[in-house]
Every structure is written in structure tokens, then in C-alpha cells.
Structure 1
Amino acid sequence: MLADIVDLLACPVCQGDLVIERGALRCADGHAFDIARQGYVSLLVGSRAPGTADSAEMVAARAGFLGAGHYAPLTEALAESVAMRAGHAPVVVDAGAGTGHYLATVLEAIGDGVGVAFDVSKHAVRRAARAHPRVGAFVADVWRPLPIRSGVADVVLNVFAPRNGPEFRRVLRPGGVVAVVTPAPSHLSPLVRELGLLSVDEEKERRVARSLDGFVEAERRTIAFDLHLSHDDIVEVVRMGPSAWHTEASELEKQISGYFSRRATKNRKKVVVRAAFHLSIFEASPRSSAVP
């Protein structure tokens, strides 16, 4: 709930402390941000357009796919890695939290602490606000200064989301870590090739490292497993990803139906697709300060 995290937040206009008062977050300078009935708040300010936000359809597809447990091995590996480093009653910030699925699992594995979830999509944040009793959620853009106080987070989660290295470093306490999950080149094969979906480019890992300048990679794991997907599962996994922005829904449905009819048989109603991810833990470099 927002009440659990309000003391960790900062006014996005003046960086002052925020309190909950009369259905809004308010600072001493009079800036106010209404709390939606779903329990989240938008802390987006300014006239500059935010980054690309997932649509309601993309978020619904993601909620359905993740809720069915298809990525459970990844979710469990992430929770295990974070729990080993989080300490007692940690503050876990999920940057680009989506539906809050991964953050909720991490909090369950830790057993205590609070989760701070933000995403640029209000559709995602509505779900994240209800993902776990110890999660507070708000709308914010990872590319802008984060409305989070300096030096308050023990862990920053970054799962399939953009990274803002300087801001991650600022909000982390000394000794805090960033847990990053990215798709491996073989992720969703052969689906990506046969449907012409967006693939993981060769520069992905270099771009991750550049975006986290001032951090060092302390741990890296590759997590790969087979998915057994129905036609509807394939629709969800395609619609929840970046390819949904680049192909008409009707065209995607046509391609998926053709793919499924080629792969499935009368006695086998599901097809096998490979899931593959990189899970990395980044620590602040000894030469960089956790709070610049």
C-alpha cells in the first residue's frame, strides 16, 4: 500500500517529503497528486511525453501468461538470488514493474520488507498496486529523475525494462544491488524466427553494461527451459512483448494460427518453445558512490 512506502518517496516537483492527506500525496510546498481508487498515484510531471507505455491489452496478456506460471523457473531463480542478498526488512524497488508479478514473488521469498513498484503504464501500475499487500505503486518514467529519496533501497529489480544507472545508484543504499533480467538470444525460439518477431540484438549485453556504468556484474546466470504452449498461450506471449507494437493484431493472429497448425497435432495440443534469460546481479563499483 502507498502508506507503507510514502516515507520513501519524494515530490517529483520539488523533491520534498510527501505525506498522505485528503486522498492525495502532498508536500509542504503544496504540490498534490491524487490517489486513484485502485490505490496507486501518478507522479509523472512536466510537459515532456513519457516513454512508451504498455497498453491495456499488452498488460492483460502479460498478467494472463505470467499468472499461468509459464515463467515460474525464472521467477523462482530471481527471488532466490535477491533473497540471498536482501538482508532483513529490505526496501525493494521494481523499476518498470509491469504487473508486479516478479516483485510480489521476491517479497514472498524474503518474508518481510516492502516493495516500491513503478511503471510508465497506468494499466500496469493498477495491477501492481494489488500484486502484494506490502507493495506500493505509482506511475513514473524510468528515464526521468525518480520520485524516490536517495539511499533508501536495498535492491532495485529491473526485469525486461529500461535502466537508468545514475538514478539506480542514487536511490540505493551502500551495499545495495541491482538485479537485471534480460532475454537471451535464443529466447522464444523457434517462435521468433517463424513469426518474424523482434529478436534480441547482438549489442544487448553491451548496452546493459553501458546503461549501468558505475556498477560491476557480481553474478550472472543463464536460465533456460522449455515452454509447452497452447494456441492461446502463444497469443499471450506474443501480445505481451514488444512485437505487439509493430504488427497489427489481426496479422499476428493469422501468423500464430498458421504456426500452431504446422506444429500441433491431433494428439498433441501444445507446442514446445524455448525460454532463455540472463539474470545478473550488479553491485556499485568501489570507485562509485551509492549516493552521488
Structure 2
Amino acid sequence: MNLHVAHDLLACPHCGQALTPLERRWVCPSGHSFDVARQGYLNLSNGPEPANADTVEMLDARTRVQSAGVFDFVSRGLDEVVPLTGVQTVLEVGAGTGHYLARLVEDRPPARGLALDVSRTAARRAAKAHHRVASVVADVWRGLPLLDDTIDVLLCIFAPRNPVEFARVLRPDGRVIVVTPAPEHLRELRQAYGLLGLEDEKHDRLLARLGEHLAHERTLGLRVSTALPADVLADLVRMGPNAHHAPRLPDADQQVQLAVQLTVFRLR
């Protein structure tokens, strides 16, 4: 079980005190107790799973897309901004399968990772992502079940953002890395199949919202154009929010643009 790598990071979602592992449960000084799931994750969500949490089908599609290397360009971008040495703790919110987190941790021993997701199905996957990655169920909107000043690198890749909590858990010299889709991301699929649209001013809104608590350091534009087979294109639709809207799926090979913005923040 990998939860031991988070032994000095987690906080009780009820009272905020440090959690201590005891056999198959974690407890705080006030007596709140949380059982470890048999699949190896810890549920600290402090509420029901939302209706839009990732499903088995969405995570299966995401695993196939990531295994095919479609988003390797994002991992290369992360490698460009995360140093190979000096990183001790990496948190990924909305971690899904833990794919990006596992790759970062693997290349930066002895760094340890913490994968947070509101989906229990995702937490089960992330618990197997890497032997130095702990998996926890948590809802970023309800607060992060972490102690203050514990995280060197916080990843938020196509995931919800809580800038107040991000700033609270970040170490003084830490960095928050947010990856968001650029306006041209999957434009061909969105136009051809009526998928959910993207805000043209999404990046400006990101800077304004996080800028109240974090300082913008730099932004990288990451883009590739590639021809993908119909089954991978269909998985690209199935793996994200479009899956909740019963979209029409691609049925032919197509050239598509993959474009994201990788934005780095630090504490003010």
C-alpha cells in the first residue's frame, strides 16, 4: 500500500488537525477516523460523490488515450518547468488515473506524490499508478485535506481550481502548475461533432482568479497537430466532460490540433 508516503501531509477534513496512520485507518487527535479502502486509497471527501465525477468508462477511455501517447507533449512541458532535483512533494488535484503525477515522480526520486480526485473510481486507479504515489478521495471545492505549507509542486491539469487552498498548502518556494485547453484545442472535433465549446478568454480568467492569491510566473503554449484514428478520436470525446452529454462520436480518421496552455504560479 502506498498511503504511507503521505504520512506527514494529510489533515482531517473535519477539524484540520494532522492525520496519523494506524493499521487500516487514519485518525486525528480529536478522534475522527477514516478507514483505508481495500483498493488502497483513503476517502477524505467529507461528502457525497458529485454527479459529474469521472466514471469507469471515462477513465478507461483516458487510459487508452494516455497509453497511446496522445498527450505526451503535456508531460514534456511539465518536465520543462519542474526541476529534476529538490522536489520532495507533488500534489495533483483532479488526478484521474495519476498518469502525469506518476511520470513526474518516477523521474524525480525520492519525490513522493499525492493524487486527489473526487471520484472513487479514479482513486482506485491512482492507487496503482506508482509506488511513491498515495491516492486520496477529496473534493477541491470543499477544501484540500492537507496540512499547511507541505507541497513543492501542485499540478492542476484540466481540473477544478481552488486558489485559496492552493496557496495554503504550497511551500514558500513552491509552484502551482495549471494546464488548460487553448481555444484551438480539438477545434476540428468540436466543430464536426457539436462538442462543448471553450471560452476564448479562459486564460485571462485564470490569471485574474488565481492572481488574487498567487503570482503569475510564466505561461507556455504547447501545441501539436496530428492524424489520429477514429477509435482514439472517440476516446478523446469519451474521456472528458463531453461524456456526460451523450455526444456523437467520430467514426473516421482525422487530423486534429491538440493545444494547451501551461501556466506556472508562485506564492505572492
TM tier relative to shorter chain:
over 0.9
The aligned counterpart of 2:56 is: 56
After TM superposition, list the pairs within 5 Å mapping 1:29-108 onto structure 2: 29-46=30-47, 50=50, 52-83=52-83, 87-108=85-106
The residue aligned with 2:240 is: 241
Q: Does structure 2 conserve the Cα–Cα contact (< 8 Å) formed by 1:225 and 1:276?
A: yes
SS at match of 2:235: helix
In structure 2, C-alpha distance between the alignment counterparts of 1:111 and 1:163, rounded to whole Å: 27
Please name the residue that 2:22 is paired with. Answer: 21
Is 96-105 or 18-27 further displaced after alignment?
18-27
Q: Decide which structure has the larger Cα Rg and report it.
A: 1
Aligned partner of 2:136 among 124, 135, 138: 138
Give, in angstroms, the shift of residue 110 of structure 1: 2.2
TM-score when scaled to structure 2?
0.94
- Alpha-carbon distance, 1:52 to partner: 3.0
Which amino acid in structure 1 is aligned with residue 260 of structure 2? F
Query: Does the aligned pair in 2 maintain the 1:79–1:109 contact within 8 Å?
Result: no
Aligned length: 266
Report deviation, 1:3. 0.5
Secondary structure of 1:222's aligned partner: strand
Assess if the C-alpha contact under 8 Å between 1:62 and 1:240 holds in 2.
yes
Structure 1 length normalisation: TM-score?
Answer: 0.86
> How far apart, in 2, do the equivalents of 1:271 and 1:68 lie?
16
Once the two structures are superposed, what CA deviation does each residue of 1:156-196 show, in whole Å capped at 9, x if it has no partner? 10100111001000001101110110010110131111111
User: Aligned equivalents of 1:206 and 1:116: distance in 2?
Assistant: 29
C-alpha contact 1:183 1:276 (8 A) present in aligned 2? yes
**2:248 paired with 1:281:** no
3-state SS, counterpart of residue 110 of structure 1: coil
* Matched-pair contact (CA < 8 Å) for 1:80–1:109: no
Q: Secondary structure at the match of 2:187?
A: coil
Deviations 1:26-51 (A, max 9, x none): 1222211111121101101147x647
Of 248, 257, 265, the residue aligned with 1:252 is 248
Structure 1 match to 2:205? 207
8 Å CA contact 1:83–1:109 kept in 2: the answer is no
**8 A contact 1:116–1:137 mirrored in 2:** yes
Distance, in Å, in 1 between the alignment partners of 2:266 and 2:18 is: 28
| One-letter amino acid of the structure 2 residue matched with residue 191 of structure 1 | L
Other-structure match for 1:224: 223
Q: Deviations over 1:119-154 (max 9, x none)?
A: 111111111111111100100001112110000111
Give the SS at the match of 1:168.
helix
Q: Which amino acid aligns with 1:242?
A: P
Q: Which runs of 5+ in 1 are unaligned?
A: 261-269, 286-292
C-alpha RMSD of matched pairs (Å): 1.6
Q: Supply the distance in 2 between the matched residues of 1:210 and 1:24 (Cα, whole angstroms).
A: 40
Give the letter aligned to residue 11 of structure 2.
A
- The 3 A distance-change label for structure 1 pair 51 and 93 is farther
Distance 1:111 1:81 in 2: 17
Structure 2 counterpart of 1:171, which letter? V
Given the superposition, is the C-alpha separation of residues 17 and 51 from structure 1 closer, same or farther in structure 2, using an over 3 Å criterion? farther
Q: Deviations over 1:242-269 (max 9, x none)?
A: 11112x2xx524xx22xx1xxxxxxxxx
Q: Distance in 2 between matches of 1:203 and 1:89?
A: 32
- How does 1:187-202 map onto structure 2 within 5 Å? 187-202=185-200
Question: Percent identity between the aligned chains?
Answer: 42
Gaps of 5+ in 2: none
- Provide the C-alpha distance between the structure 2 equivalents of 1:56 and 1:159, rounded to a whole number of angstroms: 19
Q: What residue identity is the alignment partner of 1:252?
A: R
Residues 47-71 of structure 1 deviation map (CA, whole Å, 9 limit, x = unaligned)? 7x64731111111111111111111
2: CA distance, partners of 1:211 / 1:117: 23
In 1, Cα distance between the equivalents of 2:220 and 2:204?
16
Q: How many angstroms apart in 1 are the aligned matches of 2:222 and 2:147?
A: 33
Q: 1:148 aligns with which of 143, 146, 149?
A: 146
